[in-house]
Amino acid sequence: MDEKIRELFATLLQVAPEGIEDQTSPASLERWDSMQHLILVAGFEEEFGVDVDPEEAVEMYKDFATFKRIFLQRMESRR
């Protein structure tokens, strides 16, 4: 699952997946700006058929580890 999230994250941002690490953040990855972040959230919602709360979407804009953790929690809560 981790790898699938990384792949989708990179695809949506149009960057190489190898460059995405847990500590990757909007500050370190220029492409990850606020507009692209909402595109990411919408893309993940569509791909996995889940709804991310707006508060969660805001929290996810920290680093890739946080993005992944919150998204996985959201997936888990759906089950």
Partner 1 sequence: MAKSVFSGVRISGVAGAVPKSAVNNLTDHHFCSVEDRKKIVALTKVASYRKAPPEICASDLCLAAAETLLSGVGRRPEEIDAIVFATITPDYRVPSTAGILQHRLKCRTTVIAYDIGMGCSGYVVGLYNACSLIKGGGLKRVLLLSGDTQTKLCYEEDKNVVFLLGDGGTATLLEADAGAGDIVIEVMTDGGRFQNLYVPAGGFRRPSTEATRQVREQPDGGMRSEDHLYMNGMEIFKFSATDVVKTITSFMEAEKLSPDDVNHLFLHQANGFMNDKIAKKLKFPPEKVPYTIEFYGNTGSASIPLTMAHHFSQKGSTGRGRCLVSGFGVGLSWGVATMVIDGVYAPPILELA
How many Cβ atoms are within 10 Å of 79's Cβ, its own excluded?
4
Is residue 38 part of the contact set for partner 1 (CB under 8 A)? Answer: yes
Helices (H), the chain: 2-13, 34-48, 54-59, 64-78
The one segment of 2-10, 16-24, 37-45, 64-72 that binds partner 1 by CB under 8 A: 37-45
Question: Among 11, 21, 42, 73, which residue sits at the site for partner 1 (rule: CB under 8 A)?
Answer: 42
Residues making contact with partner 1 (CB under 8 A)? 14, 30, 33-35, 37-39, 42, 51, 53-55, 57-58, 61
